[in-house]
Structure 1
Amino acid sequence: MAREQGEAMTALLKVADGLDWITDRILEVCKYSTMVVVGMIAAIIFVGVFWRYVLGDALAWYEETGKYLMMWLVFLASPIVLKRVGHVAIDNLPRIMPERIKFLMYVVVFSGVIFLLYEMTYEGWGLALNAWPQKWTSLPISFFWVYLAVPVGSAIMLLVVAEQWLRAFVGIIDPERGGLPEFEDPEMHHTDEEKLSGE
């Protein structure tokens, strides 16, 4: 029984490692995509301001384009932040919990996040398809390309959280083999006593 359980945990960890490999490559694309989008937003805003206040004319498309690019920026950057655990978090309670209880709590939390991201992916795709006939006010571009950011970003985040869920689930059975996402800044995990002692 113990051997079968160990093999099952090993299989789950292999799936988690596979998801980790996949998401690392996807997030590499997201990283460079966000750089491009930020550059585009900066250039568009600069051109728009220059046209309005220097040339005395207003470009019809610059505000709308910048706004929709910001939407893409959010959904491309969010998976990166999620993977690196860069969101605001209060982790005082998990620190004092027994290992198995802590892993169980994270499994429950991740399950809720997975459900939310699945809904966002599914409903976001439907929203994008329904928006296909609609065009921007200033340019002949379909709103499909704007709303596509929702299912794309949500699907990537879903893969990230699925990996975290698997590692937390393994931790319920075998805390030594389980794993939880770590904060990008290791100082966030240090207690005040450790910081004072220089450890």
Structure 2
Amino acid sequence: MQAVQLDVASLNTLRDGFRGRLVLPSDEEYDRARAVWNAIADRHPAIVARCAAVTDVVAALGFAREHGLPIAVRGGGHSVAGFSTCDAGMLIDLSGMRRLRVDPKARTAWVEGGALLEQLDQAAQAFGLACPVGVIGHTGVAGLTLGGGMARMQRMHGFTIENLISIDVVTANGEQVHASDDEHPDLFWGPSGCRGELRNRHGVRL
């Protein structure tokens, strides 16, 4: 694998206004930053963008597009197929974006792209509710959902993806889009059949 050379000026421009942290192969924390659950997917991204906000995601995508870097997005990092990492590209790490809100009246939850199942479970249980999600707590909610979602209570409530109400997406050109049955329905249709391939997601509403 050939190392990707990124010029200092471009990296400094990306750092300006970036709320999270950029991790390069020369950094001490690089091996921790690139690690995913499936150790077989031992890949070496050129840069890890540990995003803290949607604006970071937009900036990281713009940098990757400008420099021709392949992109991988990591929420919980549980992709068995290794979709949540890449070689010689931009790894957009959403683990710093784990906010969520439960609306007990509407019986819905809004979840950022890095949130984990255990967080959603705890938040829902506080209101006597439960979500049809998987059983491994450190799996990412977004990745599980967009992969279909083998779920507890599945026989009664279906797959996790069948309970998806809307999704907030950053498109490849950096546009932020809210998609649902009523808004951008063509984009909202995608997750139900794309398995792990619809990327750059930063929030889901169940």
Higher helix share goes to which structure? 1
Higher relative contact order (CA 8 A, sep 6+): 1
Same fold (TM over 0.5): no
Q: Compare CA radii of gyration and give the structure with the larger one.
A: 1
Higher strand share goes to which structure? 2
TM range (shorter): under 0.3
TM-score by length of 1: 0.22
TM-score by length of 2: 0.21
